[in-house]
Amino acid sequence: MASRNELRRFRANLADERHSATIYETLAGVEPDSERRKVYAELAASERQHAKVWADKLEANGKRVSNRESAKTFLMRQLVRLFGPKFVLPTLAAAEFADRNKYAGNPETAQMSADERHHASVVQALANGDRPEPTKGADIAQAEAWHRGVSSGNDLRAAVLGANDGLVSNFCLIMGVSGAGTGNRAILLSAFAGLVAGACSMALGEWLSVTNARELARTQIAKEADELAHTPEAEEHELRLIYRAKGLDKDEARRVASQLMRDKDKALDALTREELGLDPSELGGNPWTAAAVSFCLFAAGAIFPAMPFLWATGKSAIVQCVLLSILALASIGVFTSLFNGRGATFSAIRQVVVGLIAAAFTYGIGRVLGVSLS
């Protein structure tokens, strides 16, 4: 008979495998490319096999296995259907990378452990826009590729955190002004000022971040081009090492590197992508687009706590502001569960609690200042 901790682990593993299987099945259903669709279907079948292992263990211990879909799975499925595979793939790749060793060290789950590591490599390739062709050196380059391809390009994560910044900052600002005992007009003016100022600050920060990243990338590429022109032997040696790490044998790596060096543009492109981890066609994205998106996301979150003061006054408006902000915080918490590895309920409750503590703190400060200045 399994212990309580083991049963808890069985249920958690079962939920994770079913979640992954459902998402891969959804991806297979909306993916237009036949090869990728086949890959998603194979990944889903593998995850279903893993899920059956944990379901069988639970049933063998006399525990009922529920087929109810979690809120996290439902939300991810809707995002896939609304925005397509590219929007959720970075989040999915990050989750697979984080879980790639969760079955390691246990002889009973050795095959599942190998499957999970393979899944992480395949989904990473899909997230980066590559054809998922397994190679001998895939695991060697996986860690660096994950940082380059996932953490920097996770649109879902950026969207959720941007909206969260706007929501929490304006919620706290409104609570602070409300605590000082000001009227609706002053609260609305403060909320609007906070929304515009915060959104402009976020947009400017994002513009500077992307612009600086692009300038740094251009400088690095220029240095690489200079090295390619003045020390071609050293750069060819670097290319050979890169392709050896990717799984090619010594002779094949030498042949590929030598062929690339015949065309300096292709050699520079390869070194830029493989050594610097940069995509020459993007270089961090468009700073103006990034600024506009950041502005809109912050504003979208910041408007929620301000809305009740448009139609209500006094304590009624404050109560509605708190309730609407709690609902928005819980929704953001559910979204964060898609990429933090925690359950939707836990993430929602944590988000609400932290947000309310921050708002209560600023309300208290506003109350003290309002009394002392009156």
Tens-place pLDDT, residues 211-251: 887 787 778 778 878 877 888 788 878 888 887 877 778 88
Per-residue pLDDT band for 372 (boundaries 50, 70, 90) equals low
Q: Is residue 260 part of a domain?
A: no
| 161 and 15 share one domain | no
| Residue closest to 304 by CA, chosen among 185, 142, 167, 212 | 167
The CA distance from 138 to 120, in Å, is: 10
Residue 303 in contact with residue 195, Cβ under 8 Å?
A: yes
| 142 and 173 share one domain | no
Q: What is this structure's pTM?
A: 0.61
Domain count, the chain: 2
Q: Is residue 239 part of a domain?
A: no
Which CATH number does the domain housing residue 61 bear? 1.20.1260
- Cα dist from 201 to 22, 23, 294, whole Å: 39, 36, 9
| Residue closest to 91 by CA, chosen among 174, 153, 136, 144 | 153
Backbone angles phi, psi at 130, to 5 degrees: -95, 165
Q: Is residue 240 part of a domain?
A: no
The CA distance from 188 to 310, in Å, is: 8
| 19 and 146 share one domain | yes
| 64 and 191 share one domain | no
| 120 and 191 share one domain | no
Q: Is residue 242 part of a domain?
A: no
| 74 and 174 share one domain | no
Last residue within a domain, chosen from 131, 151, 171: 151
| Residue closest to 370 by CA, chosen among 140, 141, 190 | 190
pLDDT at 147 over 60: no
The CA distance from 315 to 319, in Å, is: 6
Residue 294 in contact with residue 206, Cβ under 8 Å?
A: yes
Q: Is residue 238 part of a domain?
A: no
The CA distance from 185 to 73, in Å, is: 42
Residue 135 in contact with residue 152, Cβ under 8 Å?
A: no
| 82 and 173 share one domain | no
How many angstroms from the chain centroid is the CA of residue 48?
Answer: 24
Q: Is residue 216 part of a domain?
A: no
- For residue 147, give every residue at least 6 positions away whose Cβ sits within 8 Å of its Cβ, in sequence order, or none: 277
pLDDT tens for 246-287 read 777 888 888 888 888 888 788 778 777 777 666 666 666 678
pLDDT tens for 60-70 read 888 888 888 88
| 40 and 189 share one domain | no
Q: Is residue 275 part of a domain?
A: no
| 47 and 13 share one domain | yes
Q: Is residue 253 part of a domain?
A: no
| Residue closest to 243 by CA, chosen among 274, 278, 276, 277 | 274
Per-residue pLDDT band for 122 (boundaries 50, 70, 90) equals confident
| 115 and 166 share one domain | no
The CA distance from 191 to 172, in Å, is: 10
Residue 187 in contact with residue 309, Cβ under 8 Å?
A: yes
pLDDT tens for 163-208 read 899 999 999 999 999 888 778 888 899 989 999 999 999 889 888 8
The conformational region for residue 79 under phi > 0 = left, psi -120 to 50 = alpha, else beta, is alpha
Helix ranges restricted to H, the chain: 4-30, 34-60, 71-83, 85-98, 110-127, 138-146, 155-179, 184-230, 232-245, 250-261, 264-274, 287-306, 314-340, 344-373
Specify the DSSP class assigned to residue 148.
I
| 19 and 131 share one domain | yes
| 127 and 27 share one domain | yes
Is 3 buried (19+), middle (13-18) or exposed (0-12) by CB count in 10 A?
Answer: exposed
Per-residue pLDDT band for 149 (boundaries 50, 70, 90) equals very low
In this structure, what token pair is assigned to residue 364? Answer: 């208290």
Neighbours of 309 (CB within 10 A): 23
Domain that holds residue 106: 4-151
